[in-house]
């Protein structure tokens, strides 16, 4: 597992609108400020960077197929909605595309604050929107066929991520699945790579505090084995992993998936 840093997101440099911390993870206040800036600059999903949207569209297409396979495996009738929960949905572009691709789903979404939901609220009923840290903010009497976490796992320390998956597992229907989609996979973690990474972090720190390149501590990259260990320790079974974009020409997103059953 390795720390990594970001200077900006969605074409917005963090240092232009907020304090940037080299040692502390971005929290709810940071994201609320970021989304205010994003909505000031962009007026719809279609104005967001094309490469980012393409990646989300690819993930939504993969998830739609995953839902169809789950429906077939569990003999869920074609007219019966599959109940989904998105953890950390952000601005909700992937959810928008998913609803267009696979409309017969009952979508529930979670975000740490209301700031990023301006566009998504038009598509998801208020009763299906949960604000705060999961699973505390989730209704205890609702169970889901599929719970998915898309590109937010990097911001959660390993122990807390394991505990989160374990607690979310209790909110799955029988045979339900938890899916994690990640764009922060660490391909290998050799001692040489660790040494090089330590040098890079030191250099980044110097550049940050000299004011040359302000960089926000963004989270951790994990290897495939580290992801599998988290799923196993959370009590999930039949764990499978791979790449969302495998076999898609010129996809170029390197989106990793891993899922396990209740």
Residue 250 has pLDDT above 50, yes or no: no
pLDDT > 70: percent of the chain: 87
Together in a domain, 108 and 230:
yes
pLDDT > 90: percent of the chain: 65
Predicted confidence at residue 216, as pLDDT, reads 84
At 192-215, the pLDDT tens digits run: 566 656 656 666 666 555 765 778
Together in a domain, 112 and 240:
yes
At 14-28, the pLDDT tens digits run: 988 888 888 888 888
Q: 86 with 107: CB under 8 angstroms?
A: yes
Using DSSP's 3-state secondary structure scheme, residue 209 falls into helix
Domain assignment present for residue 125? The answer is yes
At 98-149, the pLDDT tens digits run: 999 998 999 999 998 898 999 999 999 999 999 999 999 999 999 999 999 9
Residue 69 has pLDDT above 90, yes or no: yes
Mutual orientation of helices 50-73 and 93-101 as an angle, nearest 10°? 50
In this prediction, residue 253 has a pLDDT band, given cuts at 50, 70 and 90, of low
At 47-56, the pLDDT tens digits run: 999 999 999 9
Task: Residue 209: give the domain boundaries.
Answer: 1-27+187-219
Together in a domain, 18 and 131:
no
Domain assignment present for residue 127? The answer is yes
3-state helix, strand, coil in the chain (%, to 5): 40, 25, 35
Together in a domain, 193 and 66:
no
Together in a domain, 126 and 22:
no
Domain assignment present for residue 16? The answer is yes
Together in a domain, 173 and 155:
yes
């Amino acid at each position: 597992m390795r720390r990594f840093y970001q200077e900006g997101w969605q074409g917005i440099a963090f240092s232009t609108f907020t304090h940037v911390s080299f040692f502390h993870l971005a929290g709810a206040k940071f994201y609320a400020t970021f989304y205010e800036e994003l909505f000031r600059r962009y007026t719809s999903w279609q104005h967001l960077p094309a490469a980012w949207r393409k990646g989300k569209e690819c993930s939504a297409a993969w998830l739609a197929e995953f839902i169809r396979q789950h429906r077939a495996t569990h003999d869920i009738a074609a007219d019966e909605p599959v109940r989904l929960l998105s953890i950390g949905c952000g601005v909700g572009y992937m959810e928008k595309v998913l609803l267009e691709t696979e409309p017969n789903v009952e979508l529930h979404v979670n975000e740490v604050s209301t700031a990023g939901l301006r566009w998504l609220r038009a598509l998801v009923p208020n009763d299906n929107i949960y604000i705060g840290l999961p699973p505390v903010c989730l209704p205890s009497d609702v169970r889901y066929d599929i719970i998915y976490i898309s590109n937010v796992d990097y911001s959660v320390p390993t122990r807390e991520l394991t505990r989160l998956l374990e607690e979310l597992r209790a909110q799955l229907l029988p045979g339900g699945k938890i899916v994690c989609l990640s764009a922060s996979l660490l391909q290998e973690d050799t001692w040489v790579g660790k040494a090089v990474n330590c040098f890079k972090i030191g250099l980044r720190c110097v550049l940050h505090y000299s004011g040359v390149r302000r960089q926000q501590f963004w989270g951790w990259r994990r290897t495939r084995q580290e992801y599998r260990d988290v799923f196993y320790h959370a009590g999930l079974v039949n764990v499978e992993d791979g790449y969302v974009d495998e076999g898609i020409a010129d996809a170029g997103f390197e989106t990793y998936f891993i899922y396990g059953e209740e």
